[in-house]
Amino acid sequence: MIPILKLAPLLFSSALVTAQSADIRETVGPLSSIPDKTSVKVCDITDYGAQADGATDISSALNDAFTDCSAGGVVVVPSGDYALATGTGTDGGNMIFVEHGTDFEMFSSTGKGAMQGNGYVFHNEGSLDGPRLLRTYEMTNFSIHDFALVDSPAFHLSMDTCSSGDVYNMAIRGGDLGGLDGIDVWSTDMWIHDVMVTDKDECVTVKSPSHNILVENIYCNWSGGCAMGSLGEDTDISDITYKNVYTWTSNQMYMIKSNGGSGTVANVVLENFIGHGNAYSLDIDQYWSSMDPLDGVGVQLNNIKVMNWTGTEADGLERGPIKVMCADGAPCTGIEITDFAMWTETGDSQWYSCQSAYTDSTPEFCLRDGSDAMAYEATPTTTTLAPTGHEAPKMPDDLATHSWGTTASIPIPTLPASYFPGVALYSSLAGAFSAPASPLISSISPVQLCKA
């Protein structure tokens, strides 16, 4: 059975690039408007043989439309169900692979479009070797927004060596199985915001190499949770901010994971986190048992600021809300944990544990003064006193259960009205967009949608 890729209604767009300023919110994303691109050319895939019958492979029509609009314009996928049978790229392939382009945009003009990967066809046979749904490679000044990615056979969205990207107003829903990451990014100057992820693995994860990435208004709604890593040899990550992250019934609120390795992670801010029902809360684990140890004394973590965390964890005596387990060969320095108030949902006590972890500020919780930064063994401390102000709101879209397994199609979700309690969207949901008659999604120069 061929997985069906529902594109209705999606859109791709693109043109040429210029330099960006230091303000990431003001400079990332496409350089020209959809009306400007539409005035150049419109390439409707149905004019190239595509049929919205849920069975006819549209690979050739989609590629032909991109080629015809390669000098600038808009590729339109009208409303309907389309089948995409031809994967692209390598390492398991990609249903859609967009590379070496600039001023590109992919979106649903109504906010109701989706890519339905029907990953259950693969997973029902115990396989995770299927394609990613969407991968971008060496793209600049681009955006992806206002549609859903559903039931990918593998990762849902990977952004590889890109820059100046803006990803927002997205809902990602995968099966209850590890290895089905929501968003993975290793890039520079990226803004990822207003995204909801439901899966069994990563929510929004930064990998190496990455620099100057802002991730905010993130809703991990029954997910693996947000993370950094897995970190390996020659890690190179700096200037990463996660802000306004709401995590419900997930593995962790935030994890930095490695085991051995080398390189550095510097200047990370984890601000305004709310959690409920999660196994782990703050989990820095440089002896992560789920990966084989790598050569090297460990990745050096420096200047990690954790601030304004509230809510509850599932069982604070089994898994405490603060775990900072740093490499003995590369102790963490400059760790700051402030305004951190979380409490257990089970029992009446919880613990904090640190290993080889130092702060430049007044030591709090289990951190030590950073004057010597020598290795020390894990030092758990237990408290029976609930911190003041740990109470935190919940979201109306919190799932009562992750009812989507690996044996049946997963329904397409509706984009939520908000991705963090009390915080409005940066950009309105699509639907009021004034465009040509067909709901649209566009692309232009130079963009390649490549076949294997």
Catalytic-labelled residue, pool 123, 145, 211, 276: 276
Report residue 52 as tokens: 């919205």
Catalytic-labelled residue, pool 103, 201, 283, 285: 201
Active-site residue 276, yes or no? yes
Active-site residue 176, yes or no? no
Q: What is the 3-state secondary structure (H, E, C) of the chain?
A: CCCCCCCCCEEEEECCCCCCCCCHHHHCCCCCCHHHHHHHCEEEHHHHCCCCEEEEECHHHHHHHHHHCCCCEEEEECCCEEECCCCECCCCCEEEEEECCEEEEEECCCCCCEEECCCHHHHCCCCCCCCEEEEEECCEEEEEEEEEEECCCCCCEEEEEEEEEEEEEEEEECCCCCCCCCEEEEEEEEEEEEEEEECCCEEEEECCCEEEEEEEEEEEECCCEEEEEEECCCEEEEEEEEEEEEEECCCCCEEEEEECCCEEEEEEEEEEEEEEEECCCEEEECECCCCCCCCCCCCEEEEEEEEEEEEEECCCCCCCCEEEECCCCCCEEEEEEEEEEEEECCCCCEEEEEECEEECCCCCCCCEECCCCCCCCCCCEEECCCCCCCCCCCCCCCCCCCCCCCCCCCCCCCCCCCCECCECCCCCCCCCCCCCCCCCCCCCCCCEECCC
Buried b (16+ CB within 10 A) or exposed e, 154-166: bbbbbbbebbbbb
Question: How far is residue 442's CA from residue 444's CA, in Å, rounded to a whole number?
Answer: 7
Q: Are 158 and 132 in contact (CB under 8 A)?
A: yes
How far is CA 249 from its chain centroid? 17
How many other CB atoms sit within 10 Å of the CB of residue 253? 31
- Bridge partners of residue 138, in order along the sequence: none
Which are the catalytic amino acids? 201, 276
